Amino acid sequence: MINISKRDRLIDSAAMLFHHNGLTSTSLADIAKHADIPIGNVYYYFKTKEELALAAISKRKEQFSAAYALLEEHIADPRQRLIEATYYFEKVRDEYTRFGCPIGKIISDADSEKDNVVQTASQVFEDFVTWAERQFRQLGQGSDSRRYAISLMAGIQGATVMAKSMRQPQIISDEVARLVQWMENLPNRKIQLGKVAAKPDVFNAA
């Protein structure tokens, strides 16, 4: 079994440096140096730079997925889940103002649509949209749900770009506040459970 510790150190260093300095501008030498591993040894764990980048983005992808699961576990109301997810970006607003969104950065930088790394980064957004859409749907927003989910992430991404450009974290805070207010005022069109067409409990009926 291969050494997990060094492999993880490489992934974490890569994820951080890709976020802060960009995918193209970060060399394997930079990553190896930050992880305190000789550059020749990097290739024992990852055959190419793309493979390491893929692992770094995939880790972020799974971290976000884990966060959705946690929200579903601890918060019953889908509206509150969406609001809590949005507040996450308030917490990281200073880092996002300095370095941008780690995912949005890769999407923007992407030259080719065929690139595996970009496709994985896109999947992170797709995962968020899928999750948020489900929350909006549970809130009774029906066919608007997907549009709302995309609009939610777009709001964050746009605010991040402008905050980075103008070096004003407040821009992210303002957008988070706007989005939260919007979601708080969304009418709950949810069909109340038990009020309509509840399935007969066939097991206990007889």
Give the closest residue to 19 by CA, choosing from 37, 5, 34, 4.
34
- Interface stretch with DNA, choices 44-52, 56-64, 114-122, 172-180 (CB under 7 A): 44-52
By CB under 7 A, the count of residues binding DNA is 20
Residue 28 contacts which entry, a copy of itself, DNA, none (Cβ below 5-8 A, type-dependent): DNA
Min dist. Cβ of residue 101 to a copy of itself (A): 8
For residue 57, how many C-alpha atoms fall within 13 Å in the half-sphere facing its CB? 27
Question: Site size for a copy of itself, by CB under 8 A?
Answer: 40
The DSSP code for 73 is: H
Judged by CB under 8 A, the chain residues 95 through 114 that form the site for a copy of itself are 98, 100, 104-105, 107-111, 113
Query: Residue 59 and residue 14: Cα distance in Å, rounded?
Result: 11
Q: Is the Cβ–Cβ distance between 52 and 42 less than 8 Å?
A: yes
Interface with a copy of itself, residue 183, by CB under 8 A: no
Binding of residue 134 to a copy of itself (CB under 8 A): no
Q: How far apart are CA 17 and CA 32, in angstroms?
A: 11
